[in-house]
Chains A and B, each alone.
Chain A
């Protein structure tokens, strides 16, 4: 009887189909970017002007070529490397620093600690992200690492704010009191009760920040402060294609669609993961 109960929980606690779609799209792109470390269809440092601006579907060039005759497929693969890495690392910085700060602020709500953290956040929010990013890169030199740090810093207040807000509403629930009655300290309460109850919000926020990370990297590369040529990134590809959009739209479409695919796949994954983690939405009403 007991075993039976358990198997029902397991059986119905499956992830939604959309999760697997999102995951496979995401894995496919990640695999391509990993593959690009060792192999790309063409060498993108090799310029072949005679082959320039070939439309998608031309022989030898599946997605066509750009104005220097470089293969778009190869550039996309290499660009995925930078874009994904920058977005990943920047989101990671935001998560690792922002969530503990937010939890700390929420558990000490309306105390000086809370004030210091939140006003610190406001301080970061007060500066336009790009201006600070330009400052950082101007001082330390433009590079991918600096772009990661610059974008990461701006993810911190986003996560700590979201965490604090969500945690505050969980803190008012009776089960937090019950946990305090059981002698749990703030750290235990945060780990056991607060975090699991705000994961879905955080997952959604993570997928949003990840998408924004890709876009921010594009913006930084666009002004020449992110990835340096010849290393391509999706953002720079978009930027470069701008002047040619009327007669070679595929130059913009290829990286654009790539960004959309990654962002969508991450969002669907985040969404169904959030549902999966919520026991109320698992259909085991037995």
Chain B
């Protein structure tokens, strides 16, 4: 039975077509996925269905919800539908929840507004809702505030809010993108259960093919505001007909191969690094206080190697990166690079530090928005004793920008003129310009789409050869780490729990935690891909 049917939906903002002739329908009890890379208009589709489009936009087409066309509904009429009939789950639960209200209150408030029931009844319903999404109210009290919960717990609260009014359609916009793999698989499981039990229709918006292959029955693939391909998920994956689908599948499944190690010469050695933050602020999570962030971390990096560090958020991997770079003081431990210590008598030796650079995760905040690219890229020259001048500097800048696959004319532009992928290239250009030995990539590819990722991996491998670089690749994504690293360290709670050759570790994990990480990582079923490969490779 069709619940929602979108027919020839088009949206224009300032005469620019954002959505072009979108048509699809969703049945009760079905998970329908919208797949697309960032900027493909998939979130815009969700906003159009809830009629929360920006004011100056123009919408055409029909949106049939239970056979009535909500495209013509007034804002007042939509208020009765939003929340009670159609509800939404967002990507970032911290910003979607009100930080000043307890979680129980936020759920019961929705209930009171829409159902006109009294406070006690609403509170009880809120309790039931929380229990239902797996938050045991004896352990997680409804009186807690959002900041006292973990990311996964917050997302559960969001889901509880979304389903509290027993809506018919739930729109989940990248619901697990901000979460760890382990939490991700739990949340996906929860969503599946809710859909099955309540016969909700779920519109899942994501860029991750693996998630789609795991939970959605049907899928529509979007690009540039239009649906290119749609159908049953399994058919689409097994026999992709549209070239773009094939390209996406190829991007998601092509595994770059890590470059084999040529030498076993140690380039960098880190020994017994420890750090404890002294927290003065009371956090709700008791055991987080005064727990060491890094505990006795020791490892080496070989010449030309790509070393992966994998762990969930909060395991200390970013602190490790910052400690290595000397951005955070450590309690104990030494870092030795190319035969000389990076810190000497608690002062950073800039000559040695010049051999290390870092690329950050967020391509949008890692550049000063007021500086042109040439100035951004030339910033590391500050580390050199003899700074290159005029002509020499110009040549260095030009080489760096061309080496990362951008144009010389880009040097005059400003960061906001580039897309996320291009910005990460600029970040790499900034890192390579003074020819370092090691580059730390702190979740550097996490914010990018699959296609862009593959290009970046290729670029990193090329640069590694050209510049004789070693990488420390920090990520929470095991598939990604598998694709690019030679060796891997698994981190948990500030400790290295397992280390070794990447393929060995992933194939035969020894540690319980590693196994858990690997098993929670969603992947496209192997038998779906066997048939798609020859077509994709054509």
Interface residue from A177, A178, A188, A278 paired with B430 (Cβ < 8 Å) = A178
Chain B residues with Cβ under 8 A from A179's Cβ? 368, 379
Q: Mark B106-131, 1 if CB is under 8 A from A, else 0.
A: 00000000000000000000000000
| CA of A188 to CA of B350, assembled, Å | 16
Q: Is B405 part of the binding interface, using a Cβ–Cβ cutoff of 8 Å?
A: no
Across the interface, do B370 and A178 meet the contact criterion of CB distance under 8 Å? no
Task: Count residues of chain B with CB under 8 A from any CB of chain A.
Answer: 35
- Given that A178-B360, A182-B379 are contacting pairs, would A193 and B368 also be in contact in the complex, using a CB cutoff of 8 Å? yes
CB distance from A107 to the nearest CB of B (A): 14
B350 near A183 (CB under 8 angstroms)?
yes
Within 8 A of A (CB), among B333-370: 348, 350, 353-354, 356-358, 360-362, 365-370
Residues of A within 8 A of B416 (CB): 279-280
Q: DSSP class of A's interface residues: helix, strand, loop or mixed?
A: helix
A176-198 interface code vs B (CB 8 A; 1 in, 0 out): 01111111100010001100110
Q: Counting chain A CB atoms within 10 Å of each CB, which of B357, B361, B365, B370 scores highest?
A: B370
Give chain A nearest CB distance to B452 CB in angstroms.
Answer: 19
A178-B358, A180-B327, A285-B417 are known; give 6 further A-B pairs, CB within 8 A.
A175-B367, A181-B356, A182-B383, A193-B368, A197-B370, A280-B416
Task: Determine which residue in A180, A181, A197 has the highest number of CB atoms from chain B within 10 A of its CB, and name it.
Answer: A181
Chain A hits for B366, CB < 8 A = 173-175, 177-178
A280 touches B369 (CB 8 A): yes
Question: Whole-angstrom distance from the CB of A173 to the nearest CB of chain B?
Answer: 5
How far in angstroms is the closest Cβ of chain A from B350?
5
Which stretch of A2-10, A94-102, A221-229, A262-270 is in the interface? Answer: A2-10
Residues of chain A within 8 A of B357, CB atoms compared: 181
Closest residue of chain A to B357 (Cβ to Cβ) is: A181
A279 to B369, CA, bound (A): 7
Q: Do A182 and B368 touch across chains, with their CB atoms under 8 A apart?
A: no
Pick from A1, A192, A285: contact of B409, CB under 8 Å: A1
Q: With a CB–CB cut-off of 8 A, which chain A residues contact B380?
A: 181-182
Q: Does B382 contact A (CB under 8 A)?
A: yes
Contacts of A284 in B (CB 8 A): 417
| Residue-wise interface mask of B (404-439) relative to A, using a CB-CB cutoff of 8 A (1 in contact, 0 not) | 000011001010110000000001001000000000
CA distance A178 to B358 in the complex (A): 8
Docked pose: A20 CA to B133 CA in angstroms: 60
Does the CB pair B362–A279 fall under 8 Å?
A: no
Among B350, B356, B369, B382, the residue within 8 A (CB) of A197 is: B369
In this assembly, does B325 line the interface, its C-beta being within 8 Å of a C-beta of chain A? Answer: yes
Pair A175/B417 contact, Cβ less than 8 Å: no
B409 & A2 in contact (Cβ 8 Å cutoff): yes
Complex alpha-carbon distance, A180 and B365, angstroms: 15
Are A279 and B379 in contact, with the CB atoms below 8 A? Answer: no
Query: Which residues in A have their C-beta under 8 angstroms from that of B322?
Result: 177
Cα A177 to Cα B361 with chains together (Å):
12
CA distance A9 to B414 in the complex (A): 10
Q: How far is the CB of B126 from chain A (nearest CB, A)?
A: 34
User: In chain A between 182 and 218, which residues have their CB closer than 8 angstroms to a CB of chain B?
Assistant: 182-184, 188, 192-193, 196-197
- In the assembled complex, the Cα of A278 lies from the Cα of B372 at a distance in Å of 12
Residue contact A183 to B412, C-beta cutoff 8 Å: no
* A285 to B16 alpha-carbon distance, docked (Å): 15
Question: Is the CB–CB distance between B370 and A279 below 8 Å?
Answer: yes
Q: Please, which residues of chain A bring their CB within 8 A of the CB of B383?
A: 182-183
Q: Smallest CB-CB separation from A6: which chain B residue?
A: B412
- Chain A residues, CB < 8 A from B382: 182-184, 188
Complex Cα distance A284/B383, Å? 32
B368 touches A197 (CB 8 A): yes
Q: What does the 1/0 interface line of B440-465 toward A look like (CB < 8 Å)?
A: 00000000000000000000000000
The answer to whether A177 and B379 touch across the interface, beta carbons within 8 angstroms, is no
Which of A9, A183, A280, A284 has the most CB atoms of chain B within a 10 A radius of its CB? A183
A197 to B95, CA, bound (A): 25
Q: Shortest CB–CB separation between residue A279 and chain B, in angstroms?
A: 4
Least CB distance from A201 to B in Å reads 13
Cα(A1)–Cα(B409), bound, Å: 8
Contact A178 B379 (CB under 8 A): yes
Give 25 CB contacts A-B under 8 Å.
A2-B412, A173-B365, A174-B360, A175-B366, A178-B358, A178-B360, A178-B366, A178-B427, A180-B327, A181-B325, A182-B379, A183-B350, A183-B353, A183-B354, A183-B383, A184-B379, A184-B382, A192-B371, A196-B370, A277-B370, A278-B370, A279-B372, A280-B414, A284-B417, A285-B417
Residues of chain B with a CB closer than 8 A to A177's CB:
322, 327, 358, 360, 366
* Nearest neighbor of A277 in chain B, beta-carbon distance: B370
Q: Which residue of A lies closest to B280 (CB)?
A: A110
Q: How far is the CB of A176 from chain B (nearest CB, A)?
A: 8
Q: In the complex, what's the smallest C-beta–C-beta distance from B526 to chain A, in angstroms?
A: 38
Closest partner residue, chain B, to A8 (CB atom) = B412
- Beta-carbon contact of B409 and A5 below 8 Å: yes
B254 to chain A, nearest CB (A): 30
Residue ID in chain A nearest B366 by CB atoms = A174
Cα–Cα distance between A277 and B414 once the two chains are bound (Å): 13
Contacts of A9 in B (CB 8 A): 412
**Cα–Cα distance between A41 and B190 once the two chains are bound (Å):** 84
Q: Find out whether the CB atom of B368 lies under 8 angstroms from the CB atom of A175.
A: yes
A184 to chain B: which residues have CB within 8 Å? 379, 382
In the bound complex, residues from chain A placing their C-beta under 8 Å from that of B327 are: 177, 180-181
In chain A, what residue has the closest Cβ to B408? Answer: A2
Assembly CA distance A183 to B350 (angstroms): 7
The 5 A-B residue pairs with the shortest CB-CB distance, nearest first, are A174-B366, A279-B414, A196-B370, A174-B360, A183-B383
Q: In chain A, what residue has the closest Cβ to B380? A: A182
B-contact 0/1 string along A1-41, CB 8 Å cutoff: 11001100100000000000000000000000000000000
